[in-house]
């Protein structure tokens, strides 16, 4: 079922006309009663409930809102023009907001693709673009948005790792924009049938579950230490190489292989050590 836009009469002229008719009918009622004109009295009495029923056809459409009209269960159309409107008083009128809304899911506990339990939550920005689908295709479109968003989030989280361990292309922690695009597409695919447009979907909370958070923190710290040590060693090797080249090219001192090995060892200890070096002055012969 697709939305069908219809035009409703402007309500202000209709309201003025009905009020004028109601005033005339009251005068008719008084005139017929005073002059004992039976047929006119009957007409005036019948016109009172008719005019009241006609007044019930007035309804208000707010900005960024639509009214879905139904007649005895049949979908008639949707009125989107804001202001006071008038339609058949027997039409059922249901308001549907077209404003942009946002929904934040609760923190869900799921397993990522590597089997690690994680906590994850999302914020989805959405709005209704087809009122007929929103009202008639699903039972409660707001509840439908919430449930399908959480289902899409669980599916996405289980399809990707929290962080890269085996050179995965996309991870939850390292690729937030790619994950947001995938999440938006998955949520949109689930909500198309409800006449909802997903403007944006982003991860609002991401963390390891409490039971493994401490272990994973140690792992991350170990990886950081290894990476730092690797860089320090690479820099120290370069500095040792430069020192040996400078000593050799400027002929400051001639060192045999054993002395070079001792010098390299001492320099590596100084450059790679975590504490400040404590030099020992050798006052004797080099050999």
- The token pair at 12 is 């202000």
The residue ranking higher by pLDDT, 123 or 226, is 123
State residue 112's pLDDT score.
Answer: 83
pLDDT value at 181 more than 80: yes
> Looking at the predicted structure, is the pLDDT value of residue 168 above 90?
no
CA distance 157 to 152: 9
Q: How confident is the model at residue 237 (pLDDT cuts 50, 70, 90)?
A: confident
CA nearest neighbour of 109 among 120, 98, 95: 120
Q: What is the pLDDT of residue 36?
A: 78
| Helix (H/G/I), strand (E/B), else coil: 107 | coil
Please tell me whether the overall predicted TM-score, pTM, comes out greater than 0.85 for this model: no
Q: What is the rounded CA–CA span in Å between residue 22 and residue 15?
A: 10
SS3 state at 40: helix
**Angle ∠(88,61,84) on CA atoms, nearest 5:** 65
Grade residue 275 by pLDDT with cuts at 50, 70 and 90: low
């Amino acid at each position: 079922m697709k939305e069908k836009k219809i035009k409703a009469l402007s309500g202000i002229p209709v309201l003025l006309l009905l009020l004028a008719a109601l005033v005339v009918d009251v005068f008719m009622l008084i005139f017929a009663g005073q002059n004992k004109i039976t047929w006119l009295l009957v007409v005036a009495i019948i016109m009172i409930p008719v005019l009241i029923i006609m007044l019930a056809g007035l309804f208000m459409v707010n900005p960024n809102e639509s009214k879905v009209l139904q007649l005895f269960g049949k979908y008639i159309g949707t009125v989107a023009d804001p202001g006071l409107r008038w339609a058949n008083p027997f039409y059922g009128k249901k308001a549907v907001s077209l404003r942009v809304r946002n929904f934040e899911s609760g923190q869900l506990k799921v397993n990522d693709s590597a089997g690690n339990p994680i906590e994850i939550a999302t914020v989805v920005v959405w709005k209704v673009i087809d009122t007929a689908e929103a009202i008639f295709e699903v039972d409660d479109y707001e509840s439908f948005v919430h449930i399908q968003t959480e289902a899409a989030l669980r599916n996405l989280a289980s399809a990707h790792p929290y962080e890269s361990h085996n050179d995965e292309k996309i991870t939850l922690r390292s690729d937030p924009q790619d994950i947001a695009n995938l999440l938006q597409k998955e949520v949109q695919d689930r909500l198309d049938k409800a006449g909802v447009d997903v403007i944006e979907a982003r991860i609002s909370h991401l963390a390891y579950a409490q039971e493994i958070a401490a272990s994973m923190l140690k792992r991350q710290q170990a990886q950081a230490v290894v990476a730092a040590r690797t860089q320090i060693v690479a820099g120290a090797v370069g500095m040792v190489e430069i020192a040996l080249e400078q000593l050799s090219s400027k002929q400051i001192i001639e060192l045999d292989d054993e002395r070079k090995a001792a010098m390299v060892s001492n320099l590596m200890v100084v450059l790679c050590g975590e504490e400040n070096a404590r030099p020992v002055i050798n006052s004797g012969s080099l050999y």
